[in-house]
Amino acid sequence: MGKLDITLGSFLRDVRMEKEISLHEMCKRTGFDSTTYTQIELGEICPLGEDDFLKKAANAFCFDAGSREYLELEKLTIESEKIIVDPKERSLMSMLPAFFRNANGGKPTREDLLRILKLLKGS
């Protein structure tokens, strides 16, 4: 790995490739569909609202809790959420993906979340 500006997506992809796990196998291990997981790896979306994402990814990679790899994954997961949402608004934002899945059958994009947050704030 060793990149200076590593992101959650690049970390996930690097580890997956390093461990020779196919995209199909990773999706089976995490429960994500291939489109969603690919978007996470590409940094197009973050696993916001997926409370057990860290656990699913760590289990898929066989990372032990507290290991260097697990701690890096945890740090990058938290950082990816901060790109989208202020910590004070995290509980509100974590509820939105469930609403969107019910309303339109898919997960919201970052732009969708920012738009709805702006509407909710009345800005």
Give Cα 10 to chain centroid, integer Å: 12
pLDDT per residue as tens digits for the range 15-69: 999 999 999 999 999 988 888 899 889 887 777 655 588 889 999 999 998 899 9
* DSSP classification of residue 89: G
The pLDDT score that the predictor gives to residue 45 is 79
Q: Kindly list the distances between the CA atom of residue 12 and the CA atoms of 39, 65, 76, 114, 118, in Å, as whole numbers in the listed order.
A: 11, 16, 10, 24, 30
Domains and CATH numbers, the chain: 8-121 (1.10.260)
pTM comes to 0.62
- What mean pLDDT is reported for the chain? 77
* DSSP classification of residue 47: -
